[in-house]
Amino acid sequence: MAKKLEFPKNFLWGGATAANQIEGAYDVDGKTLSLLEMIPYVELKDRTDIEASRKLTKQDILDSIDNKKGLHYPKRFGNDFYNRYKEDIRLFKEAGLKVFRMSVAWTRIFPNGNDEKPNATGMSFYKNVFEECKAQGLEVMLTINHFDLPFWVIQKGLTWRDKELSDCYLRFAKLLMDEFNGYVKYWLPFNEINLGVLITRQFSDKEQEGGVMQKILSSYGDLHKQFVAQAKVVEYSKKYPHIKVGCMVADTTSYPIDCNPINVLENQRMEHMKKFFYYDVMVKGEYPGYALRMFKEYGVEINKEAGDDELLKKFPVEFISFSYYMSGTVSKETGQMTEGNILKVGKNPFLKATEWGWQIDPMGLRYCLNQLWDMYRVPLFISENGIGVSEVLNDNNTVEDDYRIEYLGQHFEQMSEAIKDGVNLFGYTMWTPIDVVSAGSNEMSKRYGMIFVDYDDYHRGTGDRFLKKSYKWFQNFMKTKEI
């Protein structure tokens, strides 16, 4: 029996993507390389062992420039959105989407970082995409930087601690706001700002000796500069009162493995450092006490400059956006771990996981929404949610992806429950309406789309687009709100 869900009339239903996972065309029209385009595809024997594809030396990165080893670098090719954006945007519109989340490749706009003028061809590509969205009646949500750090950052030996990098970033962000504020209402300065720093288990006492921990601790200094840069983007956005700037955090709901207070406390500590710390700085504009204590105990230097605290306080984000794919468990002892990509989480015997070890938990989304609304009282937006599955086209040129229909329907149901609980959730962009190159494992095989793209892991195929069963289901859901 179909079940009708309730959503506010103006709820923003949409789809999310990122430049480095869709565009391709990595070396045309003046674009230079980004670091992500220098990471080769590695066939994984065990799909849950994502780290195996990430062991790269600096030499590997340098060798990729002229591809000495003849490897395949998937993010150079994406899904060919650069050439097919018109068709894709039309398909998004026909699916019933009202908002399209995308990002800008920094290397298309400032190929060398400090170029005197922005690259005109790069700017006009995005203008064309926005024009197309406008023509199709799609609102745009724009991520200014979605993980794709330009290679010139590495060449110049810059980190976020260097003023030169935040100056370049701010010049880039301001240019985009000046040029495109008429097209883009929702702005996200950084994608998943927490992923680079806090890799969950690293904060359990057991893993606190050793190099990785040191690396993570010292990256809090870099992160502070990103927080400040983000606040400056918010400050600048006030020039255009019709636009809104939000934060973007990779969220996972986490449960204590049992009711042993030791594990409950450990879970709270993990939640603090994995997520709430970030929201606290970006929404409340202050570093929470537990973070300051941790910094003190581990000797973390933030290197705040005069005026930083005031800036963070004065220019918090106007809404919270977050990605939600899974939940996990936490125990004081390591417990059983699933290798859910970069975010390692403990297993939950009540949940099923995807082939990649991501535990599916729609109710965890309702829990998460309530938590965020209770704590922050700013409008919430789910900027990513979806299921990655390895799929092939069947003889009828489609994919019978009932598992995706089930995944989406169950998450939508919990969103509508959260709204009934009183949560101010104003939109949702699914990851992703169309198959893209995976962020974590660089494969095409990990497909999230309602639209199938005919490329394999080595970019072999026609690139043609085919509609999966979920596309028709979603189209109908947009009309009926029935699951």
The least distance separating ligand P53 from the CB of residue 323, rounded to whole angstroms, comes to 5
The least distance separating ligand P53 from the CB of residue 343, rounded to whole angstroms, comes to 5
Q: Is 446 a residue that touches ligand P53 (CB under 6 A)?
A: yes
- Identify which range of 119-127, 157-165, 200-208, 340-348 contacts ligand P53 by CB under 6 A: 340-348
Q: Is 30 a residue that touches ligand P53 (CB under 6 A)?
A: no
Q: State the Cα–Cα distance between residues 188 and 161, nearest whole angstrom.
A: 21
Among 64, 230, 254, 341, binds ligand P53 (CB under 6 A): 341
Cross-strand partners of 4: 482
The least distance separating ligand P53 from the CB of residue 223, rounded to whole angstroms, comes to 17
Q: Is 439 a residue that touches ligand P53 (CB under 6 A)?
A: yes
Q: State the Cα–Cα distance between residues 290 and 300, nearest whole angstrom.
A: 13
Of 154 and 342, nearer to ligand P53 (C-beta) is 342
Of 25 and 389, nearer to ligand P53 (C-beta) is 389
SS3 68: coil
Instruction: Show contacts with ligand P53 in window 309-338 (CB under 6 A).
Output: 323, 325
Of 243 and 439, nearer to ligand P53 (C-beta) is 439
- Write the binding mask 175 to 194 for ligand P53: x where contact by CB under 6 A, - elsewhere: ----------------xx--
Residue 478: which residues within 8 A CB-CB, separation 6 or more?
13, 95, 96
Q: State the Cα–Cα distance between residues 141 and 8, nearest whole angstrom.
A: 19
CA atoms within 13 A on the CB side of 407: 25
Q: Is 18 a residue that touches ligand P53 (CB under 6 A)?
A: yes
CA atoms within 13 A on the CB side of 283: 22
Identify the active-site residue in 139, 192, 271, 384: 384
Among 133, 257, 281, 343, binds ligand P53 (CB under 6 A): 343
Q: Is 44 a residue that touches ligand P53 (CB under 6 A)?
A: no
The least distance separating ligand P53 from the CB of residue 388, rounded to whole angstroms, comes to 5
Q: How many CB atoms lie within 10 A of CB 213?
A: 15
Q: What angle do CA 429, 320, 272 make, to 5 degrees?
A: 120
Instruction: Show contacts with ligand P53 in window 83-122 (CB under 6 A).
Output: none
Cross-strand partners of 470: none
Q: Is 438 a residue that touches ligand P53 (CB under 6 A)?
A: yes
Question: Any catalytic annotation for residue 164?
Answer: no
- Using an 8 Å Cβ cutoff, are 294 and 273 in contact? yes
Q: What angle do CA 374, 380, 385 make, to 5 degrees?
A: 115
- The dihedrals phi and psi of 137, each to the nearest 5 degrees, come to 75, 25
- The dihedrals phi and psi of 470, each to the nearest 5 degrees, come to -65, -25
Alpha-carbon distances of 195 from 152, 290, 361, 404, rounded to whole Å: 22, 19, 20, 25
- Closest residue to ligand P53 using C-beta atoms: 440
SS3 391: coil
Q: Is 148 a residue that touches ligand P53 (CB under 6 A)?
A: no
The least distance separating ligand P53 from the CB of residue 448, rounded to whole angstroms, comes to 7
Of 219 and 323, nearer to ligand P53 (C-beta) is 323
Q: Which helix (H) or strand (E) holds 372?
A: helix 362-376
- Write the binding mask 377 to 406 for ligand P53: x where contact by CB under 6 A, - elsewhere: -------x---x------------------
Count of residues binding ligand P53 (CB under 6 A)?
18
Query: Interface residues with ligand P53 (CB under 6 A)?
Result: 18, 21, 191-192, 250, 323, 325, 341-343, 384, 388, 431, 438-441, 446
Active site residues: 384
